Amino acid sequence: MNDLAITQNTQELERVLNILISKTVEDPYEPLKDLVWPDSVPTDRYWMSPMLMSTQGTDIDKQLTEAQKMELSRWEFINFCSLNVTGIRELLVEMTGRLHTPGFELLSEYLHYLIAEENEHMWYFSKFCLKYAGKIYPDRALAMSGFEEVDIANLMIFSRILIFEEIVDFYNRKMGKDELLPEFVQRINWLHHMDEGRHIKYGRLYIELFYKQLQAKYPPAKLREIELAIKGFMQISVQKLYRREMYLDAGLNEPGKIRKALLRDPQRAEFNRSLMAGTAKFFKKIGLFTDDLIWETDAAATA
């Protein structure tokens, strides 16, 4: 038996995949042809919803003028778009590498549709960065817990992608309906959310089915290692929303000091918990998480 094949509830998986394919085909919107790009995006309006900005609720926020907040919001949104570019790049590499390979026979048909949509997403997030900011923030490769077991490594990849997608969708849902933002910013956020809901449904179902197989195969100590590794990645993913360079580009003094202060701030810790609450609840529901402790597992949150 192939270690990467789903062997249980395959009929349910196939049913859901067929529904997702039908909904994808029914979606009439084609971003590459239909998106109309304005010459510029107003700089006298927020680009990132104030409630989502990394300084929200902190003493640092109280010290900023309205103009400084708007300027910072531009760079926070550019960081958000850049994270989409680098996150989607990893997704495309991993999913393309699984097309029509042993263990992914059932999934490959849907993966073609997912890959096509994600390529469109990467295109419009990258174009936004380059057209309106002149750059994409590069990804910083951070050390991750590695597993020699092929099936566990596969679960880690899918879990990392799901965490990335759920963080992004948390922001998309709110910014897509926030009239404080320019119409075009709202539009690409809502457009992304409409596709991402399907991808998250697929990712959650795949992880749930695949993890059940690992539960039956590995001892509790190994499963705990998996849990802690995924929690560690959740922390790293949230830290990327507090990028030093966006404070620097916004013209704020001591950007590194600002970042460290925000990562230690109790108000931000509460926001981070709410950001990851839905994902953590899902992992606990399927038995992958044994508790709700995410931020206490790694002191790296203040690094």
Under the banding of pLDDT at 50, 70 and 90, the label for residue 301 is very low
DSSP labels, 153-187: HHHHHHHHHHHHHHHHHHHHHHHTT-TTS-HHHHH
Mean pLDDT of all residues in the chain? 93
Q: What is the pLDDT of residues 68-94, one digit of tens each?
A: 999 999 999 999 999 999 999 999 999
Of the candidates 24, 131, 117, 39, the residue with the CA atom closest to the CA atom of residue 81: 131
Structural domain includes residue 2: no
- Residue 158: per-residue pLDDT: 95
Task: Count CA atoms within 13 Å of residue 160 on its CB side.
Answer: 25
In sign, the C-alpha dihedral spanning 3, 5, 10, 13 is positive
> Which structural domain range is residue 252 located in?
10-35+57-302
Q: How confident is the model at residue 296 (pLDDT cuts 50, 70, 90)?
A: low
pLDDT at res. 20:
94
CA atoms within 13 A on the CB side of 258: 25
Is 130 a domain residue? yes
Predicted local distance difference test score (pLDDT) of residue 258: 98
Query: How do residues 206-215 score in pLDDT, each as one tens digit?
Result: 999 999 999 9
Write the DSSP assignment of the chain as a string of letters: --TTS--SSHHHHHHHHHHHHHHHHH----HHHH----S---TTS-SS-GGGSTTTTSHHHHHS-HHHHHHHHHHHHHHHHHHHHHHHHHHHHHHHTTTTSTT-TTTHHHHHHHHHHHHHHHHHHHHHHHHHTS--PPP--------SSHHHHHHHHHHHHHHHHHHHHHHHHHHTT-TTS-HHHHHHHHHHHHHHHHHHHHHHHHHHHHHHHHHHHS-HHHHHHHHHHHHHHHHHHHHTTS-HHHHHHTT-S-HHHHHHHHHH-HHHHHHHHHHHHHHHHHHHHTTS-SSS--GGG-GGGG-
pTM above 0.85, yes or no: yes
Residue 167 lies in a domain: yes
Evaluate whether residue 5 is within a structural domain. no
Alpha carbon 47 to chain centroid, angstroms: 19
pLDDT per position as a tens digit, 13-34: 999 999 999 999 998 778 888 8
Q: What pLDDT does 21 receive?
A: 95
Calpha distance 198→176 (Å, rounded): 17
User: Of residues 298 and 240, which shows the higher confidence score?
Assistant: 240
Q: Are the C-beta atoms of 186 and 179 separated by less than 8 Å?
A: yes
pLDDT tens profile 103-139: 999 999 999 999 999 999 999 999 999 999 999 999 8
Residue 117 domain flag: yes
Q: What is the pLDDT of residue 1?
A: 56
Read off the CATH number of the domain in which 218 is found. Answer: 1.10.620.20
Q: Are 85 and 136 in contact (CB under 8 A)?
A: yes
* 282 CB-side CA count, 13 A: 18
User: How far, in Å, CA of 203 to CA of 165, rounded?
Assistant: 9
Q: pLDDT value at position 145?
A: 64
298 has a pLDDT exceeding 50: no
Q: How many domains does the chain have?
A: 1
- Report pLDDT digits (tens) over 227-278: 999 999 999 999 999 999 999 999 999 999 999 999 999 999 999 999 999 9
